[in-house]
Structure 1
Amino acid sequence: MTLLQGVGLFVAGYLALLARSAWKQGEIRQFLMSCLLLATLFGVLAAVVAAYVRWMAN
């Protein structure tokens, strides 16, 4: 297992524990909306970086 895979496994486990806690407290909808928002923000950031790298390569 590489370091990156280990970090990914740790993050997935942490998110699973957070989801379990949110489920028990009845806040799973808020948790999922927060995850969706973060995924969208990271996607936009990745797209901006990719566009910048592509623009600089030309």
Structure 2
Amino acid sequence: MRKEKALDLAAFFAEFEQMMIKKNRPLIGDYCRKKMVKYCAVYLNAEGKEPIHELK
């Protein structure tokens, strides 16, 4: 489940990043990419532990 959730998050962030780049807002796209890496790493590192209900 965690790997699927991480892939879903990565897809969402990638789509949002591309949309921001098209709107000529590259800083928002870059920020979005950094958040994607952070959140996906949290999901993948938490494998085998209790479910994550809230990401900070």
TM-score, normalised by the number of residues in structure 1:
0.50
- Pick one of 26, 33, 39 that aligns with 2:24: 26
TM-score, normalised by the number of residues in structure 2:
0.52
The two structures, once aligned, show a CA RMSD in angstroms of 1.9
- Identify the structure with bigger relative contact order (alpha carbons < 8 Å, sequence gap 6+): 2
Q: Which runs of 4+ in 1 moved over 6 A?
A: none
Structure 2 gap segments, 5+ residues each: 39-56
Q: Give the number of the structure whose alpha-carbon radius of gyration is greater.
A: 1
Higher helix share: 1
Structure 1 gap segments, 5+ residues each: 40-58
Aligned pair count? 36
- Is the contact between residue 13 and residue 33 of structure 2 (CA under 8 Å) also seen in structure 1? no
Following the alignment from structure 2 to structure 1, what is the Cα–Cα distance between the partners of residues 30 and 3?
23
Identity of aligned residues (%): 11
